[in-house]
Structure 1
Amino acid sequence: MRRPIDSLFGRLALLVVGVLFVSHFAWYALIRLERSNLQTRYAVEEAAFLVDAVRQHVQRTPDQPLPSRVRLVDPTSADVPPVNADLPVPLDRFVDDVRDRMPDSTQVRVGLPGKPPTLWVKSVNDPNWIVVPVQPLRPPRSLDRMVLWLTIIFSAGVMAALFAAWQLQQPLRSLAQAVARFGRGLPVPPVRERGPRELRQLTHGFNQMVQEVARTENDRAVMLAGVAHDLKTPLARLRLRAEMMEEPKMRDGVVRDVDSMTHIVDQFLVFAHDGADRSEPVEVDAQCERVVRSYRAVAPGSHGVQTDLTAGPGFRLPAATLDRILSNLLDNAHAYGAPPVVVATARSGEGYVLSISDHGSGIAAQDLINAARPFVRLDPARGGNGHSGLGLAIVERLVRRAGGTWEIGNHDGHGLRVLMTFPLEVVSRAASASESVW
């Protein structure tokens, strides 16, 4: 199961959203704290200003009445509030801040609760208590307009960041798809060089590598095809001369050797062929049945070939590709394996499966990795005359060119099995191409 968090875009999105959330939450908490501190500082400054104004008024114009909410109270009056012992933390901090703004030894008290908030101040030089109104210290509201603006800014930031992450992920995704195609042996068009400088350099290097590998493969294919083609004519003349020999034993030996050399040349030509198979797609089950029936008729000792075909008519592959796959694997099983050889098809959740297995000695585990390499013969267990070591390499190339994957290994502890899987979309595309031609 594919998880979105495993992709580059998913991880970038998670990182961006997390960073934006933490930063906006910290900014919101800081703003609320600063607003509370600002409110306290404003109330302290206002109270200190009123107290100084009252003192100046008393000194300069003692006969003029004071404002309605400002008054002077005699120290012996019963209205003087007691010393505040258990004040709330914000109010206690407010009283301390006001005391710091006043001269030394100034007494600062808060009016009795349940009445309009007042501040009582008396310094050493004040004959009376100075009572002034103060702004109520309201706690910050839990939700206000700032939350709405914060949500809008956060949403806009997340969308912009996700778009930037998507733009960064697209070149990497294209490069990853090209690398996957290159790994399956499929043709890879040049990848567009875009994105950051390092990504452009990586894409440029990949394009150069693909071109060099394609050039090398083309040179090797041309060389193999040229050599194989040039050998076919002298081999035909050699076979003709061999058949004209009078001694039967020598004639049969030379003809057998010429046939082996012709088979090797044919394998070279098939391996060197790098073009797309444009033959008509056929039903794999029906074609497998026909090929096995023909193989039983012409190959000596091939009565042990069995079929288990359950994929259904929807499994279709190009005819030439399927024939080459079956002929190479059946020849390989007949030469190196042991009966019964089973040709099986099935449909799985990932696509269609074609497998060919024998009941011989199989291949040693340490040799499985080299079994499909060109020109590799696993002697002495899997040697033989007339074989170039290209059979499995040809099958692997044909399977990959058809859009499938393959797996080679020993099944049930004995015998070799080649398991080929073709995704549903690949088979559907081949069938659609056939219908469009017709």
Structure 2
Amino acid sequence: MRRPIDSLFGRLALLVVAVLLLSHFAWYALMRLERNQLQARYAVEEATFLVDAVRQHVVRNPDQPLPSRVKLVDPTSPEVPPESPNMPPPLERFIEDVRDRMPSGTQVRAGLPGGPPTLWVRGTADHSWIVVPVQPLRPPRSLDRTVLWLVMIFSFAVMAALFAAWALQQPLRSLAQAVARFGRGLPVPPVPERGPRELRQLTHGFNQMVQEVARTENDRAVMLAGVAHDLKTPLARLRLRAEMMDEAKMRDGVVRDVDSMTHIVEQFLVFAHDGADRSEPVEVDAQCERVVRSYRAVASGAPTVETDLRAGPGFRLPAATLDRILSNLLDNAHAYGAPPVVVATARTAEGFTLSVSDNGKGIAAQDLVNASRPFVRLDPARGGNGHSGLGLAIVERLVRRAGGEWEIGNHGGRGLRVLMSFPFSAVPQVKTASESVW
């Protein structure tokens, strides 16, 4: 199951959202802290201003009444609040700030709790306590519009960041798809060079690498096909002359050698062929049954070949590709395996599988890596009988060109098994009657 967090876009999106969330939260917390500090400084300035204003009013206009919320209280009055040592930290800092703004020796106290917040101040030259109202330091507030604006800004920032991450991920996605096609041996068109400078350089290097590999592969294929094609005519003449020999034993031996060389040449031509298979797709189960039936009738001394075909009519492959795959694998099992040889198909949750297995000795674990390399024979004694070391290499190339993957290994100690997997997307779809008309 694919997890979104495993993709580059998913991780970039998660990183961007996390960074934006942390930055907006830090900005909001800093703004709230700064606003509280500004409010505390404003409350100190206001209280200091009111106390100075009351003192000037008493000196200049003693007969004029004071505002309703400002009053003078006699020091002996029981209304004077006691000096409390246990005050909340914000209120204690407020009292200290006000005391710092007053002349030395000024007494500053907070009003009794339960009523309107007041500040009691008495300087050394004051005959009475001056009581002035103060603003609450932490007034209860509902969620203000700042949070709404913060959410809107955060949403727009996330959308812009996700678009930037998507734009950055697209060139990498195209490059990853091209690498996957190149790994399966499929033709790879040039990847557009987009994105940042480093990504453009990487894409340019990949395009150059694909071109060089394609040029080298084409040169090798042309050389191999040319040599194989030029050998076919001398081999035909050699076979004709061998059949005209009088000694039967010598004639049969030369004919067998010529047939082996002809088979090797044909494998060279198949391996060098790099074009797409344009043959008609056929049902794999039905074609496997036909190929196995023909193989039993034609191949002399062939081992027992069994079938276990369960893929159904939806599993279709190009006829020529399928015939070459089966013929090479059956020949390999005939030459090196032991009966019975089993050709099996199945349908899985991801696609279809085709496997050919035998009950021989299999291949040593250290040799499995080299089993499908061209011109490699794991047993030097297998050089005769028309074997060039290309059979499994041809099968791997054909499977990858058809959009599938293959796996070679020993199954349960009962011989070699080649398992080929084809996803649903790689299997040709059956055209309906309406589609064929249009």
Asked whether the 8 Å contact 2:317–2:428 carries over to 1, the reply is: no
Q: Which residue is 1:325 aligned to?
A: 325
Q: Which residue is 2:89 aligned to?
A: 89
SS at match of 1:409: strand
Q: Which residue is 2:196 aligned to?
A: 196
Asked whether the 8 Å contact 1:284–1:316 carries over to 2, the reply is: yes
Matched, 1:117 2:117: yes
Distance 2:175 2:434 in 1: 32
Distance 2:426 2:124 in 1: 97
Give, as a single letter, the amino acid of the residue that structure 1 aligns with 2:170: Q
Distance 2:232 2:134 in 1: 111
Q: Which residue is 1:224 aligned to?
A: 224
Aligned length, in residue pairs: 437
1:312 CA displacement = 1.4
Greater Cα offset, 161-170 or 142-151: 142-151
Asked whether the 8 Å contact 2:281–2:428 carries over to 1, the reply is: no
Give the 3 Å change call, closer, same or farther, for CA 381–245 of structure 1 in structure 2: closer
Asked whether the 8 Å contact 2:351–2:424 carries over to 1, the reply is: yes
SS at match of 2:69: coil
1:149 CA displacement = 1.0
SS at match of 2:72: strand
Asked whether the 8 Å contact 1:36–1:140 carries over to 2, the reply is: no
SS at match of 2:427: helix
Deviations 1:182-235 (A, max 9, x none): 111111111111111111111110111011111111111111111111111111
Give, as a single letter, the amino acid of the residue that structure 1 aligns with 2:309: L
Deviations 1:109-137 (A, max 9, x none): 12233333221111112222222222223
Give the 3 Å change call, closer, same or farther, for CA 396–5 of structure 1 in structure 2: same
SS at match of 2:353: strand
Deviations 1:315-358 (A, max 9, x none): 11111111111111111111111111111111111211111111
Matched, 1:425 2:425: yes
Q: Which residue is 2:341 aligned to?
A: 341
Percent of counterpart pairs with the same letter? 83
Matches within 5 A, 1:13-28: 13-28=13-28
Distance 1:419 1:30 in 2: 63
1:434 CA displacement = 12
SS at match of 1:370: coil
1:34 CA displacement = 1.6
Give, as a single letter, the amino acid of the residue that structure 2 aligns with 1:106: T
Deviations 1:367-408 (A, max 9, x none): 110010011111147543311111110011111111111111
SS at match of 1:213: helix
Deviations 1:160-188 (A, max 9, x none): 11111111111111111111111111111
Give, as a single letter, the amino acid of the residue that structure 2 aligns with 1:411: H
Give the 3 Å change call, closer, same or farther, for CA 425–345 of structure 1 in structure 2: same
Q: Which residue is 2:279 aligned to?
A: 279
Distance 1:67 1:413 in 2: 104
Q: Which residue is 2:391 aligned to?
A: 391
Give, as a single letter, the amino acid of the residue that structure 2 aligns with 1:256: R
Give, as a single letter, the amino acid of the residue that structure 2 aligns with 1:72: L
SS at match of 1:82: coil
Give the 3 Å change call, closer, same or farther, for CA 362–326 of structure 1 in structure 2: same
Give the 3 Å change call, closer, same or farther, for CA 434–321 of structure 1 in structure 2: farther
Distance 1:435 1:292 in 2: 34
Give, as a single letter, the amino acid of the residue that structure 2 aligns with 1:74: D
Give the 3 Å change call, closer, same or farther, for CA 84–128 of structure 1 in structure 2: same
Q: Which residue is 2:269 aligned to?
A: 269
Matches within 5 A, 1:114-153: 114-139=114-139, 141=141, 143-153=143-153
Asked whether the 8 Å contact 1:260–1:387 carries over to 2, the reply is: yes
Asked whether the 8 Å contact 1:32–1:140 carries over to 2, the reply is: no
Matches within 5 A, 1:157-176: 157-176=157-176
Alignment TM-score, normalising by the size of structure 2: 0.95
1:26 CA displacement = 1.5
Distance 1:200 1:433 in 2: 43
1:59 CA displacement = 3.1
Alignment TM-score, normalising by the size of structure 1: 0.95
Matched, 1:105 2:105: yes
Q: Which residue is 1:298 aligned to?
A: 298
SS at match of 2:308: strand
Q: Which residue is 1:361 aligned to?
A: 361
Distance 1:38 1:261 in 2: 96
Asked whether the 8 Å contact 2:178–2:191 carries over to 1, the reply is: yes
Distance 1:263 1:132 in 2: 112
Greater Cα offset, 70-79 or 420-429: 70-79
Q: Which residue is 2:73 aligned to?
A: 73
Task: Kindly report the root-mean-square deviation, in angstroms, between the aligned alpha carbons of the 2 structures.
Answer: 1.9
Matched, 1:154 2:147: no
Structure 2 residue runs of 5 or longer lacking an equivalent are none
Distance 2:235 2:275 in 1: 26
Distance 2:216 2:337 in 1: 34
Deviations 1:55-104 (A, max 9, x none): 22333444444333322222223332222333333222211111111111
SS at match of 1:28: helix
Deviations 1:235-294 (A, max 9, x none): 111111111111111111111111111111100100010001111111111111111111
Distance 2:312 2:384 in 1: 36
Matches within 5 A, 1:308-323: 308-323=308-323
Greater Cα offset, 378-387 or 266-275: 378-387
Asked whether the 8 Å contact 1:281–1:434 carries over to 2, the reply is: no
Distance 2:194 2:271 in 1: 36
Distance 1:211 1:432 in 2: 35
Greater Cα offset, 120-129 or 178-187: 120-129
Give, as a single letter, the amino acid of the residue that structure 2 aligns with 1:150: L
Distance 1:422 1:282 in 2: 15
Asked whether the 8 Å contact 1:107–1:122 carries over to 2, the reply is: yes
Give, as a single letter, the amino acid of the residue that structure 2 aligns with 1:294: S
